[in-house]
Chains A and B, each alone.
Chain A
Amino acid sequence: NAGVMQNPRHLVRRRGQEARLRCSPMKGHSHVYWYRQLPEEGLKFMVYLQKENIIDESGMPKERFSAEFPKEGPSILRIQQVVRGDSAAYFCASSPPGTGVSYEQYFGPGTRLTVT
């Protein structure tokens, strides 16, 4: 059973370009989460999605950032007009359907975005 897949693993963009980060959840998982990790810091929650729905985007910057999880295909985190401060590791996690507090989030290996 493949784990959470993220690609690309490393992405270099010039200031002003767009960055697209992809996440394929584990098989059978319908919940996806995106987190950002700045150097030497912990992870910060960005957004929580289910198929075709954004459930919680309270951690997303108001501008330039968007996320989707379509009915078919991977979840996409999109950053428009990147700036140097967007340089970070972006982690995706997934969890199975259902409710309850004892769920577990499974993390992917991350995409390291460098803005030059």
Chain B
Amino acid sequence: GNSVTQMEGPVTLSEEAFLTINCTYTATGYPSLFWYVQYPGEGLQLLLKATKADDKGSNKGFEATYRKETTSFHLEKGSVQVSDSAVYFCALDTGRRALTFGSGTRLQVQP
């Protein structure tokens, strides 16, 4: 079956530090890959996506590249802010429209 594995949190960084959150996946076929962000007490918001190998998704300074050879979709940001503190979820879809999520990584950014 399909699965997504994320690095465990919490990840604690100082403001302006570099962020990497690792995500690897197992899937049949060629899935689309997503990063969602969840702020406290809210639903999930789509942060970025990539639909085929070597695609790079980017939004609000965050980036992730679809690496088929390593089955990875790591999330990066060059300089985090306190407002980036949230839980980040990696997810995939193989075309069934049923998203498979990782367990989430909590990011805490300190001023």
**Which chain A residues have a beta carbon within 8 Å of chain B's beta carbons?**
4, 31, 33, 35, 40-45, 48, 55-56, 58-59, 91, 93, 95, 101-110
Contacts and interface: CB of A to CB of B under 8 A. Distances in A.
Contact of A104 (B49, B96, B104): B49
Interface of B: 4, 32, 36, 41-46, 49, 51, 89, 93, 95-104
A42 B103 contact: yes
Nearest to B90: A42
A43 B99 contact: yes
15 contacts: A33-B97, A35-B99, A42-B102, A43-B89, A48-B96, A48-B97, A56-B98, A91-B44, A93-B44, A101-B51, A101-B93, A105-B99, A106-B46, A107-B44, A108-B43
A43 B98 contact: no
A105 B98 contact: no
Contact of A91 (B43, B97, B103): B43
B98 A45 contact: yes
Contacts of A45: 98-100
Contact of B104 (A42, A55, A91): A42
Nearest to A112: B41
A40 B46 CA distance: 19
A90 to B, nearest CB: 11
Given A33-B98, A42-B103, A48-B98, 6 more contacts: A35-B99, A42-B89, A48-B97, A58-B98, A102-B49, A105-B97
Contacts of A55: 97
